[in-house]
Structure 1
Amino acid sequence: MVPGDDAILAHLRRGSVEHCVLALLRDGEAYGLDIAARLGHDGVLLTSEGTLYPLLSRLRKQDLVTTSWRESPAGPPRRYYALTPAGHDALDRFTTVWARFRDAVDSTLTGSPS
């Protein structure tokens, strides 16, 4: 990465990572380490597990996700996260707005009218 890219990515992450978490839960529940692995596989969306758990806590407090504990076949029990109806609604709204935003940014960057 070029110096300064980290700052750009940090700004872009702030408004989108929580919705990426909701998107990962769209098709079913997942536990924290699984979410972290899926978000962090390329180092772009998530650079540290330490930022994920406070985000999951905020999503729970906003009633966008619910949690449940389950025994794990390997190790301690795991906390699983699932979307609530409000979480589905928030993801649907973000997806619609994101498409418009992405298209406007792409159009501006490439200099082609939208």
Structure 2
Amino acid sequence: MSAKQWPSDWMRAALGLCVLRTLAAGPTYGYAIAAALEENGFGQVKGGTLYPLLTRFEAAGWIAVDWRVGAGGPERKYLSLTDAGRRELEAQTAAWRDFTGTVFAHLDSADLPSTAAPKGTDAS
């Protein structure tokens, strides 16, 4: 899937939730998380953005770390969701769906008030 260039503030808002969702598939490591996000249309997520987020998630108790021997290489840090992380994913997913529903309702509303200045007033 080709990646679009999403506004950075949109990415900041959604990245944590999307990382938690990626981890819900099972234990994985940082580079694989970034690759999965890119494959799913989020574009390239740099390590300087991803790894501090993962550190915060670990500190919050949402992910657990397991060091595993790599295939012919050094140990690799595998990450997996904890029970608290799964609850957080569920809560954030519900909140995100509610928020985006509100945004869509606003964008699709035919009853929005006019932003034009009322007649007889100076809009400048």
Could you state the TM-score of these two structures normalised by the residue count of structure 1?
0.81
Q: Report if aligned partners of 1:17, 1:45 keep a CA contact under 8 Å in 2.
A: no
Secondary structure in 2 matching 1:15: helix
Pair 86,73 (structure 1): closer, same or farther in 2 beyond 3 Å: same
Secondary structure of the residue aligned to 1:82 is strand
Larger Rg: 2
For structure 1, the 5+ residue unaligned runs are 1-5
- In structure 2, list runs of 5 or more residues that go unmatched: 112-124
Partner residue of 1:23? 21
Is residue 48 of structure 2 the alignment partner of residue 50 of structure 1? yes
Q: Supply the distance in 1 between the matched residues of 2:14 and 2:43 (Cα, whole angstroms).
A: 9
Aligned 1:1-114 pairs, distance under 5 A:
9-41=7-39, 44=42, 46-111=44-109
SS of 2:78 mapped into structure 1: strand
The CA distance in 1 between the partners of 2:101 and 2:23, in whole Å, is 25
Over the residues paired in the alignment, what is the CA RMSD in angstroms?
2.2
Change (3 A) 1:112 1:48: farther
Aligned counterpart, 1:3: none
Shift of 1:107: 1.7
Matched residue pairs, number? 108
